[in-house]
Structure 1
């Protein structure tokens, strides 16, 4: 999506390896991690006030999971590309995390408030269609 919809590369210039890296990350790293994380939040973050509970879950999600996931994503992309993870992190991590915090707290507020546990990863995956376009573009630009 990023290569064709955002960058308008055309099929002849489509980078299949880049698409494969994104799919590998989503299927083998993010999907299982997000499922486990959402179960952890549901089972371990319990407060008497349900709105405070949701805010606590969103806060933990953004401080712990989002920051860790961004680190793992950028590092693993650099390794799969054969580039230096430290350079990738130095050039993109801060900007990507800041952009993350503009989008995902709102998504997760709605997700944790209204969506049953079994469907939360699905909601994240739907929103991630656009978000991953941004990450793929950012990663391919090296944070330029």
Structure 2
């Protein structure tokens, strides 16, 4: 148990000293893991057919965009909406889901299409086909996760909690943004 405690203490120290870097690594790793799960457990790709470039690209979105954006966003929510309490948590969920989620999901769909090397016309077609479904699915899952996250979890751990739940969300996003290419 001592090793686990030591690892957690190291994590806390790194998180305090380099919050954006740690949360970027978390997000990138978990987005990559979501893509691996999508390719192996949903798309049933064998090792020979596994698309490693796709995983690296999907992971890089988490590393360069997802983690840093979430950390900055949660900091802004704490600063402008408040830190604790039921009312603050509800306000944060509302602001998060009304402002951040629609724009962030739109950007993620653009980023995935861009990383896939698609033309702008193809990206727009994918957004037309997928955006509302992804946003609707987001509203089934994330308000409840965020309510618990904002009410119970300290700021420095909120991205970790979200990214842990997002392992399943990232699997869905990876499948959703790649399943059409499976049919072609």
Q: TM-score, normalised by structure 2?
A: 0.74
Specify the alignment match of 2:68 in structure 1. 32
Count residues in correspondence: 143
Q: In the alignment, which of 91, 95, 101 is matched to residue 129 of structure 2?
A: 91
- Post-superposition offset of 1:127: 0.6
Superposition deviation, residue 50 in structure 1 = 2.8
Give TM-score, length-normalised by structure 1.
0.93
Distance (whole Å) between structure 1 residues aligned to residue 112 and residue 167 of structure 2: 18
Is the Cα–Cα contact under 8 Å of residues 76 and 85 in structure 1 kept in the other structure?
A: no
Aligned with 2:142: secondary structure? helix
Give, in angstroms, the shift of residue 142 of structure 1.
4.2
Please list the CA deviations of residues 45-83 of structure 1 after superposition, one character each: whole Å capped at 9, or x if unmatched: 039x93221111001111111111110110111111122
Q: How does 1:69-88 map to 2 (within 5 A)?
A: 69-83=104-118, 84-88=122-126
CA distance, structure 1, for counterparts of residue 58 and residue 114 of structure 2: 13
What SS does the aligned partner of 1:82 have?
coil
Structure 2 unaligned segments of length 5 or more: list them: 1-36
User: Which residue, out of 79, 91, 110, partners 1:56?
Assistant: 91
Q: What RMSD in Å do the two structures reach over aligned CA positions? A: 1.8
- 2:104 counterpart of 1:66: no
The reply on whether 1:8 has 2:8 as its aligned counterpart is no
Structure 2 partner of 1:105 = 143
